[in-house]
């Protein structure tokens, strides 16, 4: 009798896990593939296919602060790969210690490849186009395209690496430099226990995490937080209420009031939350989203349940070894703090 009961419970658990997995997939939740070939098909850019040589070069450029006017700010300054892929402050800080004039928060670069569109207002179609923006924006890296090109071309090691990655006849341009940075960012994906569960490992999530996933779906969070990134598309903001910190900063979305939905992956490491970074507590952020997007006053129990699930989205980050950058030469532009 005891053995029959154990077998029955095991079968029930298996069926419940399978049912929840199917429910999640039917709700539009998609796991990062656990097969490398399938993942590469998903994240690659046919216009500039990923290779090891390009990715390693892109990593160096990502970490090189000399691409900025001051010589102090790299891509990693605002999108710290040693943390959550962001900077951990309310508003992005850039050239001359200037905070973003619209008090806009730095989104994480991890899993940004799964976004349908880039920037909070969706003005860039992909990571390659997005990579151009911060380098040229005065409140950020404050460089010019000419400066960026001069920095790279001034170092024989960089020139040699571009030839090795793209061919001996390559023309090093600002656009290609940005493309190479964007290519590196494409491989910064972080599969988690959640992905393992949706990929068929019924034990990857514990009972509380499965319950949280169910609550997440039933509450309607999947209306916006869906796909591979649990976010990444453009959507209306303030649907059933007004965000309580809406008056902080001048950001109002795109011309139609649409805002790019942030990924929920690694959300435990990407506080503060919302476009202007005014909420630091994850539970408070969940409650606020319930009010302004779902018209729901989520109970403390439901908030806690959803938070347990969100913590299961903390992913396995790729190993990042800080690159040794080429030495500057007499031709390398000098830092300009003005």
Mean pLDDT of the chain: 95
B/e letters for 104-119, b = 16+ CB within 10 Å, e = fewer, are bbbbbbbbbbbbebbb
CA 222, 225, 228, 234: dihedral to nearest 10 degrees? 130
List pLDDT tens digits, range 122-152. Answer: 999 999 999 999 999 999 999 999 999 999 9
Cα distance between residue 100 and residue 139, in whole Å: 6
Cβ proximity of 188 and 39 under 8 Å: no
Is residue 335 one of the residues assigned to a domain?
Answer: no
pLDDT tens-digit profile of 264-313? 999 999 999 999 999 999 999 999 999 999 999 999 999 999 999 999 99
Distance CA 44, CA 193 (A): 23
What CATH number should be reported for the domain holding residue 284?
1.10.760.10
How far apart CA 141 and CA 144 sit, in angstroms, is: 9
The answer to whether residue 323 sits within a structural domain is no
Which are the catalytic amino acids? 140
Domain encompassing residue 29: 22-34+190-311
1 known member of a binding site: no
How many structural domains comprise the chain? 2
Local confidence band at 17 (pLDDT 50, 70, 90 cut-offs) = confident
| Each residue's pLDDT tens digit, 197-210 | 999 999 999 999 99
The answer to whether 275 is annotated as binding is: no
Q: Is residue 331 part of a domain?
A: no
Residue 36 burial class via C-beta count within 10 angstroms: exposed 0-12, middle 13-18, buried 19 and up: exposed
233 and 40 Cβ atoms separated by less than 8 Å: no
Is residue 138 part of an annotated ligand binding site?
no
pLDDT by residue (tens digit) across 153-163?
A: 999 999 999 99
Task: Tell me, yes or no, whether 50 and 179 share the same domain.
Answer: yes
26, 139: one domain: no
| Residue 221 is assigned to a ligand binding site | yes
- pLDDT tens-digit readout, 291-304: 999 999 999 999 99
As given in the structure block, the two tokens for residue 214 are 């169910």
Please report how the helices 127-136 and 174-186 are oriented relative to each other, as an axis angle in degrees rounded to 10. Answer: 120
Say which residue the tokens 């200037």 belong to: 98
My answer on whether 223 and 175 are in the same domain is no
Indicate whether 53 and 29 sit together in one domain.
Answer: no
Residue where one domain finishes, among candidates 186, 221, 253: 186
The reply to whether 103 sits in an annotated binding site is no
155 known ligand binder: no
Which of residues 127, 158, 186 is at a domain's end? 186
Whether 213 is in a domain gets the answer yes
């Amino acid at each position: 009798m005891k053995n029959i009961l154990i077998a029955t419970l095991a079968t029930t658990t298996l069926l419940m896990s399978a049912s929840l997995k199917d429910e999640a997939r039917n709700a539009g939740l998609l796991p990062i593939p656990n097969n490398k070939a399938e993942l590469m098909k998903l994240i690659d850019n046919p216009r500039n296919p990923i290779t090891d040589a390009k990715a390693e070069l892109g990593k160096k450029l990502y970490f090189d602060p000399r691409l900025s006017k001051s010589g102090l700010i790299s891509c990693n300054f605002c999108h710290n790969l040693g943390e959550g892929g962001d900077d951990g402050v309310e508003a992005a800080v850039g050239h001359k210690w200037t905070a973003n004039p619209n008090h806009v928060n730095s989104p994480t670069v991890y899993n940004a490849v799964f976004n349908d569109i880039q920037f909070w207002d969706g003005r860039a179609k992909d990571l390659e186009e997005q990579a151009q923006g911060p380098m040229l924006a005065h409140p950020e890296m404050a460089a010019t395209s000419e400066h960026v090109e001069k920095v790279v071309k001034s170092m024989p090691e960089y020139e040699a690496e571009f030839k090795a990655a793209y061919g001996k006849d390559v023309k090093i341009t600002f656009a290609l430099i940005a493309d190479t940075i964007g290519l590196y960012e494409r491989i910064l994906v972080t599969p988690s226990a959640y992905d393992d569960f949706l990929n068929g490992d019924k034990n990857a999530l514990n009972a509380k995490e499965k319950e949280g996933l169910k609550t997440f779906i039933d509450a309607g969070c999947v209306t916006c937080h869906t796909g591979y990134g649990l976010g990444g598309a453009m959507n209306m903001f303030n649907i059933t209420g007004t965000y309580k910190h809406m008056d902080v900063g001048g950001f109002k979305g795109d011309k139609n009031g649409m805002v790019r939905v942030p990924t929920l992956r690694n959300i435990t490491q990407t506080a503060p939350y919302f476009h202007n970074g005014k909420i630091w507590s994850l539970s408070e952020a969940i409650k606020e989203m319930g009010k302004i997007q779902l018209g729901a006053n989520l109970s403390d129990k439901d908030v806690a349940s959803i938070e347990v699930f969100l913590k299961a989205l903390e992913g396995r980050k790729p190993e990042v070894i800080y690159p040794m950058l080429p030495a500057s030469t007499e031709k390398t532009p000098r830092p300009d703090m003005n």
